[in-house]
Structure 1
Amino acid sequence: MANDIKLFYDLTAQETADQWYGEEILKPTVLDFVSLLPAKPRVLDLGCGPGHESMRIAQTGAEVLGVDFSGECISIARARCPQCRFEVMDFRDLDGRYGSFDGVFAAGSMPHLAPGEIGTVLKKIRSILTGNGYAAIIVVDGEGISEKFSNLEVDGRVLNRTFYLYTRKYITEEAKKAGLKFVREGYLDPIFHKYGWRNYIFR
């Protein structure tokens, strides 16, 4: 199943880049998040895809590292956003190899983690945050697996990119166990709220 998720993002990397590099609907979300951080912060874009939001974070003056397990996404990110650093990495393997960060931005990547994995990854996020660091965790509200977001057709084949729904209560409880404190909901355009997306800020 994890192979289906990776294959989905490999196959859709170019299309995603073409769509999202010119789409600024998440720019206010980025600006809201970066406003919490010190000047010229170091930010990790967790599950960065082809680097479109890494680019927008860097435009604020941040030093950005983007990680993703899709090699195709990282290749495109390196070509289209040379001002950022990108590395191929499954964020389940997140550790201190790249140092610490003032901010971790996870836009839509955490829903691919099963309930048994999300607490572990939140602990890893806490371990690489500076003492006053913040994390933005963007997920879709609910419980269980979303069929709508999971089973998608690409090039005539249906791929299961398993997409888990998480309530605010569940995420904040798991974050608390990981040593992260819920601060507030971060900004998201109303169209995202319409489809259940939520942005939770922790420190």
Structure 2
Amino acid sequence: MYYQVDFDEELRQVQRAVTYYQDSAAALRNATDLSDEIRNYYRGMLVAPDSPALRFRSLFFAMRLQPVLSYMQQCEQPPRILDLGCGYGLESRLLSMAGAHVYGVDYSADKIAEARRQQATYEAEHGTQLPLRFDSASLFDFEADEPFDAVYSSATLHHIEPARQAVQVIARLLKPGGWFFLSDENGFSPVQQLAVQQRIGWTSSRHIVKTNPQTGQTYEYGRENIRPPLIWRRHMTQAGLKPEFIKYCRLLPSLNWPLERLVQAERTLRNMPVISQLLGIGFLLAARKPLPHD
């Protein structure tokens, strides 16, 4: 169940994602037209380029995306990927730059408008057109023209309720043989649970009702409702998906080591069950939709 991949392949894709993240951070630092909301959203990227915080975040970003990038390398044709909860499109752009046809979806119309603006800016600066589109939609109302080769969702499903029904919808959006890559905070880790309670308050509920300002409709919302991977595996299995592997990410503090050494150390620690489950800040859990003859 633990993730296994060739070291050179992992290092190559991690380096690619780290470089992209740090280049994106530099572009944000140089931007003069960012709103306060966007600055707050990207506050972790707007730190000094040599800061431990940026090193930590860039490696966390890269380690959780690496299995998706490696999956893409194995596809005979460019895969069609749904980025669920794409936010401002940071990961969507990387996946499309790597060759996937990406459909980024987010509940926030404001985030989608900014994602489109950033895409247009990138395309104008580089003289290219990315295989990428963005739309605002709720997962439970979303309709696709055709099923996807893969669904990727990062730090999103702990906001979508009911979680079990959300995974069932995702399973229906996949073609047979398609992959669901779920990246989220590790709800099994006491450190992460403590961090969440400090963020939202000790008496705050993790499950609330919110109102969409555009439509006036109410909807269930998970307030940092992070869960252990075991719960997500159960939801995947109940939805007809087959969990294939889990990769725990960011088991080390911010260390000023060469990237190769950091990746090797993470590889060693993530295959130690107790250590990885307790110390891993996040995880990427991958499940596959069986083919008819499986």
The answer to whether structure 1 residue 121 and structure 2 residue 166 are counterparts is yes
Q: What root-mean-square deviation, in Å, do the aligned CA atoms of Structure 1 and Structure 2 show?
A: 3.1
- 1:180 deviation in Å? 1.0
In 2, Cα distance between equivalents of 1:18 and 1:41: 32
The percentage of counterpart residues that share the same residue type is 21
For 1:130-181, what per-residue CA distance to the aligned partner results, in whole angstroms no more than 9, with x for missing partners? 1111111122233789423546xxxxxxxx9711121122111111000111
> Could you say which residue in structure 2 is the equivalent of 1:27?
62
In 2, Cα distance between equivalents of 1:197 and 1:187: 6
The answer to whether structure 1 residue 49 and structure 2 residue 71 are counterparts is no
- 1:63 deviation in Å? 0.4
Q: Which has the higher strand share?
A: 1
The answer to whether structure 1 residue 134 and structure 2 residue 182 are counterparts is no
In 2, Cα distance between equivalents of 1:91 and 1:191: 34
The answer to whether structure 1 residue 85 and structure 2 residue 133 are counterparts is yes
Task: Work out which of the two has the higher radius of gyration on C-alpha atoms and give 1 or 2.
Answer: 2
In 2, Cα distance between equivalents of 1:118 and 1:88: 20
TM-score by length of 2: 0.54
> Could you say which residue in structure 2 is the equivalent of 1:177?
238
Change in CA separation of 1:16 and 1:119 when aligned onto 2, cut-off 3 Å:
same
Secondary structure in 2 aligned to 1:35? helix
In 1, Cα distance between equivalents of 2:241 and 2:146: 19
For 1:93-113, what per-residue CA distance to the aligned partner results, in whole angstroms no more than 9, with x for missing partners? 233x34211111100000112
In 2, Cα distance between equivalents of 1:118 and 1:74: 23
In 2, Cα distance between equivalents of 1:52 and 1:140: 18
Moved over 4 A (4+): 17-24, 191-195
> Could you say which residue in structure 1 is the equivalent of 2:99?
61
**Range with bigger deviation, 45-54 or 136-145:** 136-145
Higher RCO structure (Cα 8 Å, ≥6 apart): 1
The answer for unaligned runs of 5 or more in structure 2 is 1-34, 47-53, 121-129, 202-220, 254-275, 289-294
**Range with bigger deviation, 41-50 or 27-36:** 27-36
Contact 1:36/1:134, CA 8 A, preserved across alignment = no
Contact 2:78/2:101, CA 8 A, preserved across alignment = yes
TM-score by length of 1: 0.76
Change in CA separation of 1:130 and 1:20 when aligned onto 2, cut-off 3 Å:
farther
